[in-house]
Amino acid sequence: MSAVSDRLPTFPWDKLEPYKATAAAHPGGIVDLSVGTPVDPVPEPIQKALVAAADSPGYPTVWGTPELRDAITGWLERRLGARDVTHHHVLPIVGSKELVAWLPTQLGLGPGDRVAHPSLAYPTYQVGARLARADHEAYTLTPGADAPGPTDLDPTGLKLLWLNSPSNPTGQVLSKAELTRIVAWAREHGVLLFSDECYLELGWDADPVSVLHPDVNGGSYEGIVAVHSLSKRSNLAGYRAAFLAGDPAVLGPLLQIRKHGGMMTAAPTQAAVVAALGDDDHVQRQRARYAARRSALREALVAHGFRIEHSEASLYLWATRGESCWTTVAHLADLGVLVAPGDFYGQAGARHVRVAFTATDERVAAAVERLT
């Protein structure tokens, strides 16, 4: 077996350790804006649902309870505008990162098969292709860039196309027209399209649209699957709660594979997801918290000489001072603020940093004070 280092890149956040130490030495303590992990409490109704399901001695099912599937289909229709969604159109998963990392393997991809993802992207898309020993390549969505866009790719051998809107790290949102064009192209060439929509309920300067919307897919889910997570919108990163929705011809075989692999969402988590998807109020309260933090950080960064690009959605500000991202990381670490270098997400981000606004109000206020 080949060494892990031959198959996988260096884990990006290991490179941040020296800068984290510098930021931690600040007299006021570190403000860690490098990782988008929730810090606010899990809403009380969700906690109560988890506790009520704590006595779950038996194995859960991979497909989830009927109540869970009802909650997912109801949310898809209510929040995303999806139509005619049945239980066969949904599949619970154990957090979205697990799915992204292992999807190419579960699809049976291997050497000679191609996986495409955005040039600025969550690193796990590339990791998933590498784990399957498939080829991976990046495309850009920036007009006028040298690299091809998704519909400019050579479809030969292209088995999986990843979309990510709203984007991590840039916060870029694809319009309904762009999504419609990409879905049509993928179908024309027989390319399976997976759309990572984990930040879809966190639009600020844009209103993100799902590939599951009939205006995008023409009323058919053929060849498309959306990935959704409750980590960000409901503060459930610790629960590992996510799901897929889309083409039953894709989800059916994945369900069978995941049964063999024992990839089951814990029963208490399933109950918590039912409560979370049935309550929109807590999402609006959390959005208000994030909106205030985003506004404060954005204003402070601009005052400090940064330019903010894209960032119309998600939990991040994509910022640049026109210098190497590592120079920026070092500068901010000296102020006690830790951010993620843009090249973690691809070389196209080499002059940007990703600033998360998932810290507490007190820590965000500390960062603002140091920047201004």
pLDDT digits (tens, 9 = 90+) for 90-122: 999 999 999 999 999 999 999 999 999 999 999
pLDDT tens figures, 114-152: 999 999 999 999 999 999 999 999 998 765 445 568 999
Q: What is the pLDDT of residue 189?
A: 97
- One domain for residues 254 and 190: yes
Q: Is the dihedral angle over the CA atoms 123, 88, 160, 146 positive or is it negative?
A: negative
Q: Is 347 exposed, middle or buried (CB count within 10 Å of its CB: 0-12, 13-18, 19+)?
A: exposed
Q: Is 244 helix (H, G, I), strand (E, B) or coil?
A: strand
- One domain for residues 57 and 95: yes
Residue 3 makes CB contacts below 8 A (sequence gap 6+) with: none
- One domain for residues 299 and 364: yes
pLDDT band at 13 (very low <50, low <70, confident <90, very high): confident
Average the pLDDT over 349-368 and give the result.
97
Q: How many residues does the chain have?
A: 372
- One domain for residues 116 and 239: yes
Q: Is the dihedral angle over the CA atoms 217, 219, 225, 229 positive or is it negative?
A: positive
pLDDT over 60 (residue 2):
no
- One domain for residues 228 and 240: yes
- How big, in percent rounded to 5, are the helix, strand and coil portions of the chain? 45, 15, 40
pTM of the model: 0.93
**Number of independent structural domains in the chain:** 2
Per the structure, the complete domain to which residue 363 belongs is given by 4-41+282-371
- One domain for residues 330 and 273: no
Q: Is 217 exposed, middle or buried (CB count within 10 Å of its CB: 0-12, 13-18, 19+)?
A: buried
pLDDT band at 160 (very low <50, low <70, confident <90, very high): very high
Please, what is the average pLDDT of the chain?
A: 94
Decide which of 254, 279, 304 is a domain's last residue. Answer: 279
- One domain for residues 55 and 18: no
Decide which of 215, 249, 279 is a domain's last residue. Answer: 279
> What CATH number does the domain containing 347 carry?
3.90.1150.10
- One domain for residues 224 and 320: no
With contact defined as beta carbons under 8 Å apart, do 158 and 188 qualify? no
- Spatial distance between the Cα atoms of 102 and 86, rounded to a whole number of angstroms: 25
Average the pLDDT over 354-359 and give the result.
97
- One domain for residues 244 and 296: no
Q: What's the number of CA atoms in the CB half-sphere (13 Å) around residue 260?
A: 5
> What CATH number does the domain containing 224 carry?
3.40.640.10
Q: What is the pLDDT of residue 149?
A: 85
pLDDT band at 14 (very low <50, low <70, confident <90, very high): confident
Q: Which residues of 169-182 are buried (b: 16+ CB within 10 A; e: fewer)?
A: bbbbbbeeebbbbb
pLDDT tens figures, 309-334: 999 999 999 999 999 999 999 999 99
- One domain for residues 108 and 148: yes
Q: What is the pLDDT of residue 1?
A: 44
Quote the tokens at residue 47.
């906690």
- One domain for residues 27 and 59: no
Decide which of 223, 257, 279 is a domain's last residue. Answer: 279
- One domain for residues 80 and 159: yes
